[in-house]
Amino acid sequence: MDSIKKSNSLEEQLISLVKAQTEFTSKALMILSLGVKNIYSKEEAALFLNLDPDYLYQLKFHNKIKAYKKKGQKKIYFKKEDLENYVLSDDCDEANCIDFEKEIIDKWKK
């Protein structure tokens, strides 16, 4: 009976490792693809900026980052150039940025 428990435990650990490896490989491939793409989905843009996708959407909603969508579709896209401009822009002083982030976080908590 003890050998069956050990076998089941090893099987669960193996399944967990395979899942983690699959997720890692998928994320690594996405990161590598970001270098050659010019148009990003919301998830890819968030990964590019190292932000939560919901926070990125709030930046778009408050016109901090420009986003695009096809007529009749809900999915939004971002240009790499616009994301780079956002990262390199100096239009946000520290106090203003902190207030903006606090406002977004407060809305998420509701």
Q: What would the pLDDT profile of 41-96 be if each residue is shown by its tens digit? A: 999 999 999 899 988 988 898 888 999 999 998 899 999 999 999 888 876 655 55
Residues 8 and 29 in one domain: yes
Domain of 85 in residue numbering reads as: 37-110
* More confident call, 72 vs 99: 72
**Residue the block writes with tokens 């406002």:** 103
Residues 45 and 70 in one domain: yes
Report the pLDDT value the prediction gives residue 25, as an integer from 0 to 100.
Answer: 93
pTM over 0.85: no
Residues 73 and 98 in one domain: yes
Residues 46 and 2 in one domain: no
Residues 49 and 97 in one domain: yes
Residues 70 and 96 in one domain: yes
Q: Residue 39's Cα: distance from chain center in Å?
A: 14
Residues 54 and 29 in one domain: no
* More confident call, 17 vs 91: 17
How far apart CA 45 and CA 23 sit, in angstroms, is: 18
101 C-beta neighbours (distance < 10 Å), count = 12
Residues 26 and 48 in one domain: no
Report the pLDDT value the prediction gives residue 96, as an integer from 0 to 100.
Answer: 58
Report the pLDDT value the prediction gives residue 97, as an integer from 0 to 100.
Answer: 64
Residues 49 and 96 in one domain: yes
* More confident call, 3 vs 13: 13
